[in-house]
Structure 1
Amino acid sequence: MFPEAPCKYGYEECKATADWLLDHAPVRPLVGIVCGSGLGGLAEMLKDQKVFSYSDIPDFPQSTVHGHAGRLVFGTLKGKPCVCMQGRFHLYEGYPVQKITMPIRIFKLMGVETVILTNAAGGLNQDYKVGDVMIIKDHINMPGFAGSNPLCGPNDERFGTRFPCMSDAYDRKLRQLASEVGAELGYSNFLKEGVYCVLGGPSFETIAECRMLNRLGADAVGMSTVHEVIVARHCGMRVFALSLISNQAVMDYDSQEKANHEEVLQTGEQRSQQLVKLVSTIVTRIDQHKREECTRSDH
């Protein structure tokens, strides 16, 4: 069996799906939010909701993971038009990497300017605790080292340049805004900033792998997000991402601890209200933040 050709998820296919959604959606979204495991509650913050099951959207992938609802939710947040993915797609589900990231291209073609991504991740940094929230400042793309990159294949200039820069992938101003909002809300004690490493999954990491990744400079490890970030930056969208540390990676051979998906979902549930507050406040201030930047640059 040969893998599916990337052209199946090209500009025309993405545009057809984006146009269908815009014909049926109540708003043209400016912000796109992707909810990770156990974090689907973020979509509930949207007002005047219109919900689409992934199975009802032409050519849209289907989510197969417990904790991922498989719904696209349109609505407004303090008047700002948003779209929210309740459930994302992963390499381990067997999808080609171009199909996993297709929704991000659809976001772009619907008018989205800023993408906010969330995930549940294992903590590699020994100073992190379960329940901490890590603002992602950079990533290590392990599958990319082996040639699994969503930009492989012919480049379509209508999306972006052939060789996009990734040193500024995670928007510095949005990270700063998140830290300010976190401090105001009293979340500083569990808000961190660090490097996220993506692996293919679905098996959790071995002890040797965790030790290696930690020595390479990774603070948290997971199975998503990075491919979406690459495509969002290729399309010229601003990116903000955060990880909920849902389990501590096992680094000791004498430990009796074992990583499991139930723990991931449980931690998401416990921290969900605070994450909703954090993300919704950031969203409402994105424009204000941009205006302040413009004002500063005018002086």
Structure 2
Amino acid sequence: MPQSEAQKSGICPISVVLPAKNEAAALPDLIPRIRRVVPEAEIVVVDDGSDDGTGDIARSLGARVVRHPYSMGNGAAVKAGARAARGKILVFMDADGQHDPDDIPRLLEKFRQGFKMVVGARHPSSQASWLRRLANHFYNRLASAMTGHRIEDLTSGFRAADAAAFRKFLYLLPNGFSYPTTSTMAFLRAGFPVAYVPIHAGKRADNSRSHIRLLRDGLRFFVIILKIGALFSPMRLFLPVSGVIFLLGAGYYGYTFYMWHKLTNMSVILFLGSLFVFMMGIVSEQISSLHYRFHE
């Protein structure tokens, strides 16, 4: 397939990165559509240990292919694609046909207004069930509280990002499915502007179900949110916990004083616990400031 002069010279303004595992059914339709919408872009397909010829099909359609010898996870594929891409702007899409390439220009238009990352925020009706919509709403609210910024879609894998800024956080991204959660929170807490563009995600090309399991993977999302929040904004995590423990101690002391006119050991333990958690937050905040220096 013919390439532009920019692609031949190794200089590309945009790289579209498609992490793919056994997506041979979706790529013959998806890659030509991407090519029509952004003909100047290079397309990088990361074949994450597929056994259905995904890599060969992508290569025959003119895409650059990075292959993993075995499945390493969606996050590992994203990281490999980000390292291999030549573009100054990285566009990440799912390779299963859920994301519409016609939305790419809308993301890029918003990106060029001065944002470092633009996320395709899915309409609630795009979620498979009301339970998943409820869970995503909870995670969006929790992540918003941890970062101090409104997050409209924490888990959307459709996004455009500044390549240099995105590579700063590759070491933070897990090898599993949760790279969107980590990258969004990392950008926000590092002070990079993030915007959202509404999109509607379709069904997978093969009509199969998502590999994400609500209960098991939901707990992982929760832990990841807390970990990234503790890394970039520790006091937003430690201060509320310290306050809750202090209020428990004060409440219990009020009860024991009213009943027996004395201060019990449990109240003292709770007060000390509150102090220790607060001091841990102070120390973590100082350590976090060194992390910001690393990214200057």
- TM-score, with length taken from structure 1: 0.26
Higher share of residues assigned helix: 2
Normalising to structure 2: TM-score of the pair? 0.26
The higher-RCO structure (CA 8 Å, 6+ apart) is 1
